[in-house]
Amino acid sequence: GLIQAGGVDIKGSLRDIKIIRNNKEISSTDFYNYFFLGKPLEDLRLMDQDIVYVSSRKNTIPVSGKILQPGYFEILEKENLNDLINFSGGFDRKSSKFIFVYRNSVSDDDSFILKKNQAEAFKIFQGDSIYFPEKPNFQNFIKVRGQVKIPGDYPYSEKMRLKDIIEAT
């Protein structure tokens, strides 16, 4: 029925679509369960004179950076940052171990740097922006410069000795 009517507008909510019959709500559907969690939709037959009511979005959170599905996501009051990570497909393999949260609400302009394991307990709100930075790729290399045959970047491990680097150059 929604597709035949042209779909849901960008301002419309996919989290609470109601079917109203004879002035009574007979069903409410959260399409995120279907799109992101793979749960089946309720098999409800629409009838003549039914109303499909799509409310406006309440919380839209932009997600960017090294995440598998960056975009804009709608979050319910009971959901946290971990739910948002699941909706966006999880971390990219190049994602750092930190998450940046920019709180842009009217009363609070704070920003947070969280570790990945803190996402479960972190509550997000309307106006927040989430960014997943890229893991720096320089942390396991040694730069060799100067009067050597082959200057450049060499891989580093904790078991390596200076003699190993000198022999490699």
d(CA 55, CA 93): 36
Average per-residue pLDDT for the chain: 87
Residue 81 makes CB contacts below 8 A (sequence gap 6+) with 99, 101, 114, 119, 120, 122, 123, 124, 130
d(CA 49, CA 69): 38
Q: Whole-structure pTM over 0.75, yes or no? A: no
In the chain, what percentage of residues exceed pLDDT 70?
95
Mean pLDDT to the nearest integer, 104-111: 71
What is residue 149's predicted lDDT score, i.e. its pLDDT? 83
Confidence of residue 162 (pLDDT cuts 50, 70, 90): confident
pLDDT over threshold 90, residue 125: no
In the chain, what percentage of residues exceed pLDDT 90?
40
Q: pLDDT of 29-79, one tens digit each?
A: 899 988 888 888 887 888 899 999 999 988 899 999 999 999 999 999 899
Estimate to the nearest angstrom the gap between the alpha carbon of 146 and the chain centroid: 45
